[in-house]
A and B are shown apart, each in its own frame.
Chain A
């Protein structure tokens, strides 16, 4: 009974090793010379070392809103892709209509400037 869980244990250990290993190696082998440029804000504009329970700028919500919508379309595309060969043209045209409607939404948000940061 218990040995059925062995693959899961192996999986967990491998997962931890892959996650922690590179960070550990980088910490041990890499040179550590911080300067002003390296500690400055980058990518998302957050300070690199800060309390994680801080207030977010309201503009992030806008990005989150758009992300959620276009993220979930994949939930429909994946099952469709798996059985597409059985569905034939019917499935292809149906999915094309669905994606076309999504593109219309995308054009709308782009033209309205929702993708601009400022």
Chain B
């Protein structure tokens, strides 16, 4: 037999960011094992360096024409590269915040950083996945790392409980997703996204084929909704957010959302775009329920992590609205919304982490009382973050909501837009509540900010970005649109 299996150097170069990150993980893992306690910080710096280099490698691949490699299972296009660059940037910020939290709560262990790197590797595979197999494997690398990451606080029973809940519901979600995938494979005869797309957009598709694709589609949508945390598959979100260590909550609520949206785009838009009329209906219901429940239930929360969980659910609703429109500009608006949401969310969790003291978890809304007197600068930043989340005009959060609603209206869903706006106004109430307790109430306990310079600096830049991007949103919106 002819030897047809060869290493194709050209295609290996296209996967260079992933290959580099995997090698970096191996090096960091082995090195961390043999480091004494005094040099544990080395792991942190190596993690940041690997993220930076991976980001630069991905950046260099931007502009490369769309190429599908590794037996049609891995795609490199602008969407993949840009998503990877953003993922690296956001993860680096998240790691700066994490380090402070981990040292304060004596959770600083090398495994934390290794698990984060592994989950990022999984997300990169998801973003570039071009067959159902690669998408599934990427998703599992991500999820399994996250389950373990929560359980890293092994002495806290709340964290273990959160890990268990996340594990069980995540496993159900993967099961449903797989069942949908098996149906799609069974009817189209291929795992490859472009083959599935060709099959689904065939004009002569019989009624029986359409029925089976729709059957699989329902399972796929439920699986994705589970992972995104959309109502009615949101049960895990508040519990996991509240129980996990705050730095893990921050990571879970931010970067993996990019990967989830990328998977959504690959399967539903690239693969089953021809079936848009069917899945858009499901998405519409999920989006409206998420926005409504997220906005209303958040009003009753006293724990700020739990409140942010419900706020995430309503943001997820807005992201899904972008996909309901079924036009490229709507998808672009959804991607823009994801990036904006992550930027704001990182800042919010950064400020919560900043208020943490050794062995003290600042996770109640009342912990923000009187912050403006003790630290006007950070109170101002929290103000920007909260107004941004509520969608008040000069801030970036306004534009992300505005772009989505603009697309929803031009696609003809006026009622949908009105419902979204009404609930957005309701949700403004609980963001304003935090502002009220920061500015108009006196502190009932001592607030001192003892965080090191690096987190204060990064947090300030993060908050200023919220303003700057809010002043020039067009550039970023154009970038998001160019990805499709």
Asked whether the complex places CB atoms of A and B closer than 8 A, the reply is yes
Q: How far is the CA of A19 from the CA of B26 in the complex (A)?
A: 46
Q: Is the CB of A88 within 8 A of B26?
A: no
Which of A87, A91, A104, A111 touches B26 (beta carbons < 8 Å)? A104
| Interface residues as binary, B1-24 with A (CB distance below 8 Å gives 1, 0 otherwise) | 101011100000000000000000
Closest B residue, CB atoms, query A91: B5
Tell me, yes or no, whether B33 is within 8 Å of chain A by CB. Answer: yes
Q: Is the CB of A108 within 8 A of B33?
A: yes
Tell me, yes or no, whether A81 is within 8 Å of chain B by CB. Answer: no
Number of interface residues of A (CB under 8 A): 12
Q: How far is the CA of A27 from the CA of B33 in the complex (A)?
A: 52
Q: How far is the CA of A101 from the CA of B22 in the complex (A)?
A: 10
Which residues of chain B come closer than 8 Å to A90, judged between CB atoms? 3, 5-7
Tell me, yes or no, whether A86 is within 8 Å of chain B by CB. Answer: yes
Q: Give chain B's interface residue range (CB within 8 Å of chain A).
A: 10 to 19
Closest B residue, CB atoms, query A112: B33
Which residues of chain A come closer than 8 Å to B30, judged between CB atoms? 104, 107-108
| Interface residues as binary, A78-92 with B (CB distance below 8 Å gives 1, 0 otherwise) | 000000001110110
> B15 → chain A, closest Cβ, in Å?
13
Closest A residue, CB atoms, query B1: A86
Which residues of chain A come closer than 8 Å to B5, judged between CB atoms? 86-88, 90-91
Closest A residue, CB atoms, query B6: A90
Which residues of chain B come closer than 8 Å to A101, judged between CB atoms? 26
| Interface residues as binary, A101-113 with B (CB distance below 8 Å gives 1, 0 otherwise) | 1001001100110
Q: Is the CB of B33 within 8 A of A107?
A: yes
Kindly list 6 other residue pairs between chains A and B, CB separation below 8 angstroms, not including A88-B5, A91-B5, A101-B26: A86-B3, A90-B3, A90-B6, A104-B29, A107-B30, A111-B33
Residues of B within 8 A of A (CB): 1, 3, 5-7, 26, 29-30, 33-34
Residues of A within 8 A of B (CB): 86-88, 90-91, 93, 101, 104, 107-108, 111-112
The 24 listed contacts between A and B (C-beta, < 8 Å) are: A86-B1, A86-B3, A86-B5, A87-B5, A88-B3, A88-B5, A90-B3, A90-B5, A90-B6, A90-B7, A91-B5, A93-B7, A101-B26, A104-B26, A104-B29, A104-B30, A107-B30, A107-B33, A108-B29, A108-B30, A108-B33, A111-B33, A111-B34, A112-B33
